[in-house]
């Protein structure tokens, strides 16, 4: 059983490492793109530069999401020593994951609005659907949290231990 736990821990570490690698690679790509957008001596119209900068914001947003997911996997699955029930672990992990997804979708919606407002307004309904999806996810997550308040009351000691461990991990 211990060998299986070590194997799953190695898998989580590798997954976190891949998230970190992807996040940093996206940051490098965004840096290259931003350099071409603001690079002096290049003949680009302001609108073209604006489009490239918006794409860079999108790349950085996805990079931050990848880095956050890597950090979440590392903290929740590798660094934690407190043993809480599976439902509690799922709620904690799901909450951290949904924060990243909802914020990323909201930023992507904002980028899409800026990008297509003057160039391709026919794509605004698709962009709006991203915003609606972010709102539905946020509302669903709120309902999920509200309905699970009673579940957290079932194991108050484990939740207290997990909260104490949160303070240690954050420092």
Q: What is the pLDDT of residues 65-111, one digit of tens each?
A: 899 888 888 887 777 655 555 666 677 778 888 888 898 899 989 98
Please state, in angstroms and rounded to a whole number, the distance separating the CA atoms of residues 111 and 171.
34
Please state, in angstroms and rounded to a whole number, the distance separating the CA atoms of residues 62 and 100.
9
Q: Which residues contact 159 (CB under 8 A, 6 or more apart)?
A: 84, 88, 152
pTM, full prediction: 0.70
Confidence (pLDDT) at 32: 92
């Amino acid at each position: 059983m211990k060998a299986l736990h070590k194997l799953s821990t190695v898998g989580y570490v590798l997954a976190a490492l891949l998230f970190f690698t992807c996040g940093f690679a996206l940051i490098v790509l965004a840096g290259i793109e931003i350099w071409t957008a603001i690079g002096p001596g290049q003949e680009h119209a302001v609108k073209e530069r604006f489009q490239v900068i918006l794409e860079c914001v999108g790349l950085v947003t996805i990079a931050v999401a990848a880095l956050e997911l890597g950090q979440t996997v590392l903290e929740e699955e590798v660094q934690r020593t407190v043993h809480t029930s599976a439902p509690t672990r799922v709620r904690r992990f799901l909450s951290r994951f949904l924060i990243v997804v909802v914020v990323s979708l909201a930023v992507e919606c904002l980028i899409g609005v800026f990008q297509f407002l003057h160039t391709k307004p026919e794509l605004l309904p698709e962009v709006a659907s991203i915003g609606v999806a972010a709102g539905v996810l946020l509302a669903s997550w709120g309902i999920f949290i509200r309905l699970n308040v009673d579940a957290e009351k079932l194991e108050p000691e484990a939740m207290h231990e997990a909260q104490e461990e949160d303070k240690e991990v954050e420092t």
